Amino acid sequence: MLKLVKTMIIILLLIGMFYVIAFQVFDLKTIIMQKIYPIKYADFVEEYAKQYEIDPLLVYAIIKAESDFEPKAKSKSGAMGLMQLMENTAVEVAKQIQVEELQTQQIYNPQTNIELGTCYFSTLLKKYNQIGLALAAYNAGMGRVDQWLEQNIISQDASNLENIPYKETNMYVRKILNDYQIYQQLYNKQSVS
């Protein structure tokens, strides 16, 4: 019986040491979280986030939610690429930044998609002056967000985003705001490029 107690104590001590080494010394939690919330396409994200005055960590959160960093992603509704742009939106934004004759396949190009998506989100952020509202418009469209604001379903200060009537958009905004917070916690202490 004494031998069994000693063996259990040794096993518990080994587990405790493993925990201390893995989670305290090597910060395993952060390593795992950075695998789940990666920094990919940093050159493009950093360049266009700076150009369009958006926190690059917010762009990463949008890409994570939209495509999980899969450049060939295509939604059921036809949204394409890393930032899941609809073709008509991509063409419209391309014209704004003087990209002539954007071909459909170009929308899947990570650099092009990140530039167009970041530019578009920047436009929404300037229009609504609030991240939550801009995210709602990115997902549901400006017309719907304008309508919700007009009908006082949501407010301009975004203090009641939980009232977004479309469940998908409601969850989308919450997910990205949560992912953005996680990206800030993981990467604000270090350079992301």
- Would you list the domain boundaries of the chain? 1-36, 37-187
Binning pLDDT at 50, 70 and 90, where does residue 191 land?
A: very low
Q: Encoding tokens for residue 102?
A: 């954007």
Q: Is the pLDDT of residue 134 over 90?
A: yes
Least confident of 8-12, 75-79, 80-84, 146-150: 8-12
Specify the range with the lowest mean pLDDT, choosing from 82-86, 179-183, 187-191.
187-191
From the candidate CATH numbers 3.40.50.12780, 3.10.105.10, 2.60.120.920, 1.10.530.10, the one assigned to the domain spanning 37-187: 1.10.530.10
Cα gap 12→91, rounded to integer Å? 61
Q: What is the model's pLDDT at position 189?
A: 58
Residues 165-185 have a mean pLDDT of 97
64 vs 78: CA distance, rounded Å: 18
User: Alpha-carbon distance 165 to 175, whole Å?
Assistant: 16
Is the pLDDT at 140 greater than 80? The verdict is yes
Are 156 and 130 spatial neighbours (Cβ–Cβ below 8 Å)?
Answer: yes
Catalytic residues: 66
192 pLDDT tier (thresholds 50, 70, 90): very low
Q: Is the pLDDT of residue 190 over 90?
A: no
> SS3 for 93?
helix
As a whole number, the mean pLDDT across the chain is 91
